[in-house]
């Protein structure tokens, strides 16, 4: 082996080792996927409230305790999916229009089955 070939082989070995280390760090065996946090605007839209009303409900009812509050870099409230669910449940209990805040199937309702078919046409060459 020439010197250049040997040097290239060493560089290739170093690159392979570096790739393995990067993969171990990025794809750590104990790593878990986590759902991202949602902004107050997103949460308000999904729940069916205005952003100021959402903030008021969170503060007045202490639905998001101070120690669990997370803020974005701009100072906006960030909510987890579990916290959004808690707010929905609270609004459903305290509001006469509970169906608005708790969409979905409720106790006693049967499962609805919706079927659809797509008829794919030909190319129409004649």
pLDDT of residue 67: 61
Angle, vertex CA 74, rays to CA 101 and CA 84, nearest 5: 20
Per-residue pLDDT, 68: 63
Rounded to two decimals, the pTM is: 0.57
Per-residue model confidence (pLDDT) at position 121: 65
Distance CA 4, CA 96 (A): 80
Would you write out the chain's pLDDT as a tens digit for each of its 126 residues?
Answer: 688 888 888 889 999 999 988 887 777 777 677 788 899 899 999 988 899 998 888 888 777 766 667 776 677 788 889 889 888 888 888 877 777 777 777 788 888 888 887 776 666 666
Q: Is the domain defined by 38-101 classed in CATH 1.10.1660.10? A: yes
Long-range CB contacts (< 8 A, 24+ apart) of 63-72?
63/87, 63/90, 70/37, 72/39
pLDDT score at 1 = 66
Q: Where are the domains of the chain?
A: 38-101
3-state secondary structure 50-103: CHHHHHHHHHHCCCCCHHHCEECCCCCEEECHHHHHHHHHHHHHHCCCHHHHCC
Give the model's pLDDT for residue 44: 92
Residue 115's φ and ψ, nearest 5 degrees, are -115, 145
Question: Beta 77-79 vs 70-71: how paired, if at all?
Answer: antiparallel
With left for phi above 0 and alpha for psi between -120 and 50, is residue 104 left, alpha or beta? Answer: left
């Amino acid at each position: 082996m020439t010197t250049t070939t040997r040097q290239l082989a060493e560089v290739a070995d170093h690159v392979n080792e570096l790739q393995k280390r990067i993969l171990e760090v990025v794809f750590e065996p104990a790593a878990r996927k986590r759902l991202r946090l949602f902004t107050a605007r997103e949460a308000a839209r999904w729940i069916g409230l205005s952003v100021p009303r959402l903030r008021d409900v969170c503060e007045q009812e202490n639905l998001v305790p101070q120690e669990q509050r997370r803020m974005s870099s701009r100072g906006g409230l960030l909510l987890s999916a579990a916290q959004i669910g808690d707010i929905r449940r609270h609004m459903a209990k305290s509001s006469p229009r509970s169906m608005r805040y708790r969409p979905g199937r409720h106790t006693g309702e049967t499962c609805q089955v919706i079927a659809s078919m797509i008829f794919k046409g030909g190319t129409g060459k004649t």
